[in-house]
Chain A
């Protein structure tokens, strides 16, 4: 037990030097946790936004529906299988009917997907309530996203002609009025599409009770596939695969950054150790004369170095916890939308520090500190106590 006590005494006795090292190391600590937390926060936020506004607990899709093939839409509609219909009436799922259409803003022609959704639905975090607002005349209320608004030049209150075909292939066209331009970070519910009330779309197309896909509420228990009447289930993981792959490639890049950062901090530890060993050879000699084996001396010095890591963790906790939790609470204001890579995040970014992240980083820092502290001590192994006592290195 003498070694840990001695190590602690030594390191605290060194005063300023120790605290500087600990502070440097703690900065690396905090920075790694912070930036990793920011990255994770960005990912979780993007995933959460997509889940809230688009994915829900996953989609049941009509057998003919291929989300990547707009041409499949003509046939991709049908009555809901019974278990899904039950979920819909229980408010645990929201049906969406999708058809192809064309809008004509200022004589231009823009192909769009027309998505019908129940204005009163609560499954997705969409401002569909605007669609239920009573409309004068028989203009169809339409909800669009900011990107669609920018693309088409439409704004709230504008009227635009929509042309579509009903279930029998007969053309129909009506004026629609943009009741709201929604600000959403999820571009897959925005670009190239317009949202209309579900019942209105069913009536417009002659597809009563039909849908193209059904969004399950988060946490809703999905019916057995056999009961889904050929409708295909696409879960959250399927929707999120793309951004997860992108995150994977990004995280390797940031690991390199952390490695450099850590290397910088380790330089300080290494430096300290080398100096300490050089400076304190007489002390080593004394310890050996008092009966310490070389191994014990090495253990003492390694432990002292390692304690730098422990102190750093403590220092990091002192200012890091309040700082990081403050940022996690208030978030980081973003300059506008940051979703052009399909990353759906809002206007503020909230870092998320997982337990795994914090303990992982702590272990990593402690481990590297220990290794780096140990490396210079190997010189001690060659030390002759007699030389050491006289202050000489062998």
Chain B
């Protein structure tokens, strides 16, 4: 385990430089490899999760509970359970399309275009953020920029830059737990390099044979506010999910 070199000590700077030269290229893994390990930990199997979203606004906070059925990366089905007003609202994601159904109107609406940019339930997350394909390795070139601790966990710091696909964030910086292969912190940047959004993982739990981040805070960096907290209450791996769930008919 290597510690940061105090820059105020010029005497040891040379040693530090030498250490850096030795340490970074020699010990640091390939960025893509780190991302693949992250993907591996998340897995591509079927999952059923129950989660809470705590949305903090200027008038206090509210909690929205939902249950999601996820098949691989392309398909997911979410049903809101609480508060009562949102109960029965459902969302279906198939590849890059997102439908929502509200029982009150009995209508299924395709969320497209600018509507994808709207906030989900008033949170700091947009539908687009939620829709994002998690396989960062497919979208970004990753370079390990160094090592840092997040809390007491040693992390690889990865700089991700867009390969030119149509994506919202041109650059990202992620902190990946060196041992557990979970992302502990993320910063999303504009093309110009300006920080736009931050993600902080507050809690990581061992579930079955994987590490799962169970408490995450998302925040819009340009806006005042405390951000949105996302808490995983339960997660079932390799769940049996009937195929018909991922059809528009199942929304009603």
A and B touch in the complex (CB under 8 A): yes
A residues apposed to B, CB below 8 Å: 71, 74, 102, 104, 107-109, 138, 161, 163, 165-166, 168-175
Given contacts A71-B113, A74-B114, A174-B190, contact A169 B222 (CB under 8 A): no
Q: How far is the CB of B154 from chain A (nearest CB, A)?
A: 30
B113, A74: Cβ atoms closer than 8 Å: yes
* Neighbour of A171 across the interface among B113, B170, B223, B224, CB < 8 A: B170
Given contacts A74-B113, A109-B223, A161-B222, contact A172 B168 (CB under 8 A): no
Bound Cα distance from A166 to B169, whole angstroms: 11
Residues of B114-144 contacting chain A, CB below 8 A: 114
* Neighbour of A173 across the interface among B162, B166, B196, B224, CB < 8 A: B196
Question: Which B-chain residue is minimally distant from A161 (CB atoms)?
Answer: B222
Instruction: Supply 16 further A-B pairs (C-beta < 8 A) apart from A163-B196, A168-B165, A171-B168.
Output: A74-B113, A102-B222, A104-B222, A107-B222, A107-B223, A109-B223, A138-B192, A163-B190, A165-B168, A169-B166, A170-B170, A171-B188, A172-B170, A172-B190, A174-B192, A174-B194
Q: Is B191 in contact with chain A by the CB < 8 A criterion?
A: yes
Bound Cα distance from A87 to B232, whole angstroms: 60
Q: How far is the CB of B245 from chain A (nearest CB, A)?
A: 29
Q: How far is the CB of B164 from chain A (nearest CB, A)?
A: 8
Q: How far is the CB of B90 from chain A (nearest CB, A)?
A: 25
* Neighbour of B162 across the interface among A138, A165, A170, A174, CB < 8 A: A170
B residues apposed to A, CB below 8 Å: 113-114, 162, 165-170, 188, 190-192, 194, 196, 222-224
A-B contact pairs, 10 of them (CB 8 A): A74-B113, A102-B222, A104-B222, A107-B222, A163-B222, A170-B167, A171-B169, A171-B170, A171-B191, A173-B192
Q: Which 8 A-B pairs have the closest CB atoms?
A: A107-B224, A173-B190, A172-B191, A173-B194, A172-B190, A104-B222, A168-B166, A174-B192
Q: How far is the CB of A205 from chain B (nearest CB, A)?
A: 10
B194, A108: Cβ atoms closer than 8 Å: no
Question: Which B-chain residue is minimally distant from A167 (CB atoms)?
Answer: B166
Q: How far is the CB of A208 from chain B (nearest CB, A)?
A: 15
A170, B196: Cβ atoms closer than 8 Å: no
B224, A161: Cβ atoms closer than 8 Å: no
Bound Cα distance from A169 to B165, whole angstroms: 10
Q: How far is the CB of B48 from chain A (nearest CB, A)?
A: 31
- A171: chain B residues within 8 A (beta carbon): 168-170, 188, 190-191, 196
Listed residue (B113, B162, B190) with the most chain A CB atoms within 10 angstroms of its CB: B190
B169, A170: Cβ atoms closer than 8 Å: yes
- A174: chain B residues within 8 A (beta carbon): 190, 192, 194
Bound Cα distance from A204 to B236, whole angstroms: 44
B114, A172: Cβ atoms closer than 8 Å: no
Bound Cα distance from A4 to B137, whole angstroms: 103
Bound Cα distance from A170 to B117, whole angstroms: 12
- A71: chain B residues within 8 A (beta carbon): 113-114
- B169: chain A residues within 8 A (beta carbon): 170-171
Question: Which B-chain residue is minimally distant from A169 (CB atoms)?
Answer: B166
Bound Cα distance from A71 to B114, whole angstroms: 7
Bound Cα distance from A109 to B162, whole angstroms: 27
Bound Cα distance from A163 to B223, whole angstroms: 11
- B162: chain A residues within 8 A (beta carbon): 170
Q: How far is the CB of A248 from chain B (nearest CB, A)?
A: 37
Q: How far is the CB of B142 from chain A (nearest CB, A)?
A: 17
- A172: chain B residues within 8 A (beta carbon): 170, 190-192, 194
Bound Cα distance from A171 to B172, whole angstroms: 12
Bound Cα distance from A61 to B194, whole angstroms: 33
- A74: chain B residues within 8 A (beta carbon): 113-114
Bound Cα distance from A138 to B166, whole angstroms: 25
Question: Which B-chain residue is minimally distant from A73 (CB atoms)?
Answer: B114
Q: How far is the CB of A78 from chain B (nearest CB, A)?
A: 17
- A165: chain B residues within 8 A (beta carbon): 168
Bound Cα distance from A163 to B189, whole angstroms: 11
- A161: chain B residues within 8 A (beta carbon): 194, 222
* Neighbour of B168 across the interface among A107, A108, A169, CB < 8 A: A169
Bound Cα distance from A102 to B196, whole angstroms: 12
Q: How far is the CB of B43 from chain A (nearest CB, A)?
A: 28
- A104: chain B residues within 8 A (beta carbon): 222-223
Q: How far is the CB of B138 from chain A (nearest CB, A)?
A: 16
Question: Which A-chain residue is minimally distant from B188 (CB atoms)?
Answer: A171
Q: How far is the CB of A235 from chain B (nearest CB, A)?
A: 29
* Neighbour of A169 across the interface among B167, B192, B194, B223, CB < 8 A: B167
Question: Which B-chain residue is minimally distant from A104 (CB atoms)?
Answer: B222
A173, B167: Cβ atoms closer than 8 Å: no
Q: How far is the CB of A339 from chain B (nearest CB, A)?
A: 30
Listed residue (B166, B168, B191) with the most chain A CB atoms within 10 angstroms of its CB: B191
Question: Which A-chain residue is minimally distant from B114 (CB atoms)?
Answer: A71
- B222: chain A residues within 8 A (beta carbon): 102, 104, 107, 109, 161, 163, 173
Q: How far is the CB of B155 from chain A (nearest CB, A)?
A: 24
Q: How far is the CB of A118 from chain B (nearest CB, A)?
A: 23
- B165: chain A residues within 8 A (beta carbon): 168
Bound Cα distance from A358 to B223, whole angstroms: 60
